[in-house]
């Protein structure tokens, strides 16, 4: 169990003066996230590269666009950024948590203290720091195997999506889920039996912050989630799905598993069926 809530506000930062601030910006359109970090970031924040620190690009295509790194590679990356076994990490981005949530979920599933900054950069009203950033002291981060009970592979995801008491929640935009729009993924559509659960629905469109716990619980219950449900979260490449995982935790629902390969991995294998239309 972690000692920090999955989502905290900017006012809560004062309660964690020794926390490592992690800037996890990344852009699907190819913009340079490192350049964005250097142009302005929260004071003292380190830059965590989704492509380098949180992914393993030596994996085959059916592992998706952002496979998890090995436990050893992840531990080395964390240690190099000044994140150790006892560190508290507060991650942010400028897209509502869409990419920073990936780091938070990875750390929390290992039992490390990590939280997402609600509202991200927009919630910060102080001065920003520019430049390359600090060179943190290397800390020891013990490699830990990724917990099998928090992850699902393609076969497990397919079975849960089709089961009466299971749900596979697709965090992509609805038009990608239905197949009306194909963005990056090899084929249009979704995993058969999955339900559309866009990650953006966890954010209040007015405040740009996470919805309250009660609202989130109602949202997921409407999708069919209950205390007995087996839930797998997926998206295009195992990144934005983490928003649904964190939102479910905020709503005090049982933890969802992550299908890391997600639809980019699923649809890369020709003999795996895909479904078009509104789904379940």
**Residues labelled as active-site residues:** 235
For the chain, give the DSSP string: --SS-SEE-GGGGGG-TTPEEEE----TT---HHHHHHH-B-TTPEE--HHHHS--TTS-GGG-SSPPPPHHHHHHHHHHTT--TT-EEEEE-SSTTTTHHHHHHHHHHTT-EEEEETTGGGG--SPPB-SS---PPP------PPPGGGB--HHHHHHHHHSTTEEEEE-S-HHHHHTSS--SSSSSSB-TT-EE--GGGGB-TTT-SBPPHHHHHHHHHHHT--TT-EEEEE-SSSSTHHHHHHHHHHTTPPPPEE-SSHHHHHTTSTTS--B-SS--
Q: What are phi and psi of 170, to 5 degrees?
A: -95, 115
Paired tokens of 89: 């990490």
């Amino acid at each position: 169990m972690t000692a920090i809530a999955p989502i905290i506000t900017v006012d809560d930062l004062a309660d964690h003066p020794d926390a490592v601030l992690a800037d996890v910006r990344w852009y699907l359109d190819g913009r340079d996230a490192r350049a964005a970090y250097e142009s302005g970031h929260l004071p003292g924040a380190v830059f965590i590269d989704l492509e380098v620190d949180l992914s393993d690009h030596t994996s085959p295509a059916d592992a998706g666009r952002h496979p998890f790194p090995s436990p050893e590679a992840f531990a080395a990356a964390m240690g190099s950024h000044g994140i150790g076994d006892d560190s508290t990490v507060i991650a942010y981005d400028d897209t509502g948590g869409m990419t920073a949530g990936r780091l938070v979920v990875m750390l929390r599933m290992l039992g490390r203290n990590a939280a997402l900054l609600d509202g991200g950069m927009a919630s910060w009203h102080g001065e920003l720091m520019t430049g390359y950033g600090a060179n943190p002291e290397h800390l020891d981060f013990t490699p830990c195997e990724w917990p099998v009970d928090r992850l699902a592979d393609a076969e497990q995801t397919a079975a849960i999506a089709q089961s009466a008491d299971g749900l596979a929640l697709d965090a992509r935009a609805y038009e990608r889920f239905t197949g009306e729009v194909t963005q990056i993924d090899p084929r249009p559509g979704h995993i058969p039996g999955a339900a559309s659960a866009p990650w953006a629905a966890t954010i209040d469109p007015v405040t740009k912050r996470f919805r309250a716990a009660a609202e989130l619980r109602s949202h997921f219950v409407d999708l069919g989630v209950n205390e007995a449900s087996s839930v797998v979260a997926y998206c295009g490449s195992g990144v934005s799905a983490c928003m649904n995982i964190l939102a479910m935790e905020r709503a005090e629902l049982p933890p969802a598993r992550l299908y890391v390969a997600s639809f980019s991995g699923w649809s890369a294998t020709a003999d795996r069926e895909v479904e078009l239309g509104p789904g379940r």
